[in-house]
Amino acid sequence: MSVRKRTWTTSKGAKEEAWIVDYADQDGSRHIRTFARKKDADAYEATVRVHVHAGVHTSTKTTVAEAGRKWLVDAEDRLEPATVESYRQHLADHIIPYIGAMKLPQLTVSLVREFMDRLRADKRSPAMIKRVIGDLGSILADAQERGLVAQNVVRSLNPHKKRLPSGDRRSILKSV
């Protein structure tokens, strides 16, 4: 890994400079990122160094939609057709329209919570939201096994937040 200064002259004769972080990820693929300030380049290099060493750095450009399609292909080989069709509908109707274009490494716990809030605002039932988030978690687990994402952010959600709101659950204890 290195941080170096790059200088050049534009076609109009102006001198320009930038700071480049040059590194190889855990798979050995080379990556370059450019920054205007050395401070920003040094900070990025330090973060990437730790992530690469820990094996959690991913620089994939795979989107949620692409990962979902790979997950469906895998599911077709081992699950019942009706289950696969249900997964396909959740992917097409709920996941792809909202977060399908997002790259996997961009997903965070807060973005998944926003996704859940958007589904709720668009009048999806609590049970449907729970199933869709479960499917998203399975997509991310599959992507993690393929090395496309470092962590499954759905698994990092507060388990109480994944449950249905209390008004939608049936109470086991009845008031006396």
Tens digit of pLDDT for each residue in 15-37? 999 999 998 876 677 888 899 99
Contacts by residues 149-157 (CB-CB < 8 Å, ≥ 24 positions apart) = 149/58, 149/60, 149/67, 149/104, 149/105, 149/107, 150/51, 150/56, 150/57, 150/58, 150/105, 151/56, 153/107, 153/108, 153/109, 153/111, 153/112, 154/112, 156/109, 157/109, 157/112, 157/113, 157/133
In which band, very low, low, confident or very high, does the pLDDT at 171 lie, cut at 50, 70 and 90? very low
Q: Answer whether residue 133 shows pLDDT above 50.
A: yes
Q: Answer whether residue 162 shows pLDDT above 60.
A: no
Given a contact cutoff of 8 angstroms between Cβ atoms, the answer to whether 33 and 42 are in contact is: no
Amino acid (1-letter code) at residue 53: H
The span from the CA of 43 to the CA of 14, in Å, is: 28
pLDDT attached to residue 59: 62
Average pLDDT, the chain: 85
User: Tens of pLDDT along 30-73?
Assistant: 888 899 999 999 998 998 888 776 656 666 788 999 999 999 99
pLDDT attached to residue 172: 44
pLDDT attached to residue 175: 45
In which band, very low, low, confident or very high, does the pLDDT at 176 lie, cut at 50, 70 and 90? very low
Give the DSSP H or E segment for 78.
helix 64-78
In which band, very low, low, confident or very high, does the pLDDT at 106 lie, cut at 50, 70 and 90? confident
pLDDT attached to residue 56: 60
Residue 35 has φ and ψ, to the nearest 5°, of: -135, 150
For residues 171 and 108, the model is more confident at 108
Q: Answer whether residue 173 shows pLDDT above 50.
A: no
For residues 163 and 134, the model is more confident at 134
